[in-house]
Amino acid sequence: DIGFAAPIICRSTVQGRHLISDDNGYVCSALSIDPWSRCCPRTGGRFSCQGCNLDSQCCNSYEYCVSCCLNPSRTKEADVLKLKVAKPVTAGTYTNIFDFCMGRCRHSSASVVHENAYLSDFHHCFLVQQNSSGSTESNFGSRLDGINVILGRQGESCSSACRAKGQSCVPSRLAELNKCQILQKYMRCKNGCFPSLGPDQPAEVVDEAPKNLNPGACLYMQMDDRLTCDGSHRHTRRLCPCA
């Protein structure tokens, strides 16, 4: 019997008008993709991080974000496959790394919330949420012993929110609140929970915010060393550790 090799078929992104990333980690122009296999030519670098800041794991283009994210040395399959696609308990988990990378790179709120306070032009982020690593709520609770978790008013800093309760903000405990499962415990987060880059985080975008600011989304700060009690934003409510 004569056997025939099964045709190679790739999945690819469709967001960009000029560039495409396939599920093998290659990026190519929309005109150079193979029309039958939907694969990019394997002439360029695989898992390219062109235009990416590897410290924040954010990129200035969607396609290179997906390509960089697909690198198994940066994104561990075991971490990705247990993440929920959305907040509701009925939501499914990601079935593969490509779906995770396409979704995560597309939906970073860092590009839309602080319209006048960007730290950089890198709005497409693929950081795996450490807050979804499987740690139990009881572990977080023990780290918050003696802490009064307060939901601030719209546009209010944690320093102000704690002071209104006769307490002080505890900056060393901000990192314990800077996790999706903690945000979702105290806030609705009805439009999801995303990494961002703002001094007001962790926080939730208020429902009355302009639609392009992703109302109802919860945001956590990608860099714990930039967390501060003094930050605020006119369209968010902060989650604050007071004592």
Q: State residue 140 phi and psi, 5-degree precision.
A: -65, -40
Question: Is there a contact between 154 and 161 (Cβ–Cβ < 8 Å)?
Answer: no
Q: Provide the token pair at 73.
A: 């040395």
Mean pLDDT, the chain, rounded, equals 82
- Domain contains 58: yes
Among 92, 125, 158, residue at a domain's last position: 125
- Domain contains 11: no
Higher confidence at residue 155 or residue 59? 155
Question: According to the model, what pLDDT value does residue 137 have?
Answer: 44
Residues 121 and 28 in one domain: yes
Question: Considering the chain, what percentage of its residues have pLDDT values greater than 70?
Answer: 81
Residues 31 and 112 in one domain: yes
Residues 97 and 151 in one domain: no
Among 125, 157, 183, residue at a domain's last position: 125
* pLDDT tens, position by position, 80-131: 887 777 655 556 788 899 999 998 887 554 444 444 444 456 678 887 654 4
Which pLDDT band, with edges at 50, 70 and 90, does 153 fall under? Answer: very high
Residues 23 and 97 in one domain: yes
Residues 82 and 44 in one domain: yes
- Domain contains 130: no
Q: What's the pTM?
A: 0.53
Residue 146 reports pLDDT greater than 50: yes
Question: According to the model, what pLDDT value does residue 155 have?
Answer: 96
Question: Is there a contact between 215 and 206 (Cβ–Cβ < 8 Å)?
Answer: yes
- Domain contains 8: no
Tell me the sheet residues that pair with 221. Answer: 196
Residues 198 and 234 in one domain: yes
Higher confidence at residue 3 or residue 114? 3
Q: How many CB atoms lie within 10 A of CB 105?
A: 26
Residues 82 and 29 in one domain: yes
Among 125, 158, 177, residue at a domain's last position: 125
Region 196-223: what's the mean pLDDT? 90
- Domain contains 6: no
Cα 33 to chain centroid, rounded:
29
Residues 101 and 175 in one domain: no
Residue 134 reports pLDDT greater than 50: no
Region 202-225: what's the mean pLDDT? 90
* pLDDT tens, position by position, 9-68: 999 997 667 899 999 999 999 899 998 999 999 988 899 999 887 777 788 889 999 999
Long-range contact set of residues 15-20: C-beta below 8 Å, sequence gap at least 24: 15/62, 15/63, 15/106, 16/61, 16/62, 16/63, 19/61, 19/63, 19/64, 20/63
Residues 121 and 204 in one domain: no
Question: Is there a contact between 114 and 203 (Cβ–Cβ < 8 Å)?
Answer: no
- Domain contains 140: no
| Integer Cα distance of 126 and 68 in angstroms | 9
Question: Is there a contact between 180 and 194 (Cβ–Cβ < 8 Å)?
Answer: no
Residues 104 and 187 in one domain: no
- Domain contains 10: no
Going by C-alpha positions, the residue among 239, 225, 234 that lies closest to residue 115 is 234
Region 158-169: what's the mean pLDDT? 95
Q: State residue 70 phi and psi, 5-degree precision.
A: -70, -15
Which pLDDT band, with edges at 50, 70 and 90, does 212 fall under? Answer: confident
Residues 179 and 102 in one domain: no
Residues 157 and 118 in one domain: no
Question: According to the model, what pLDDT value does residue 49 have?
Answer: 93
- Domain contains 159: yes
Question: According to the model, what pLDDT value does residue 34 have?
Answer: 92
Strands 58-59 and 52-53: antiparallel
- Expressed as residue numbers, the domain containing 43 is 19-125
How many domains does the chain fold into? 2
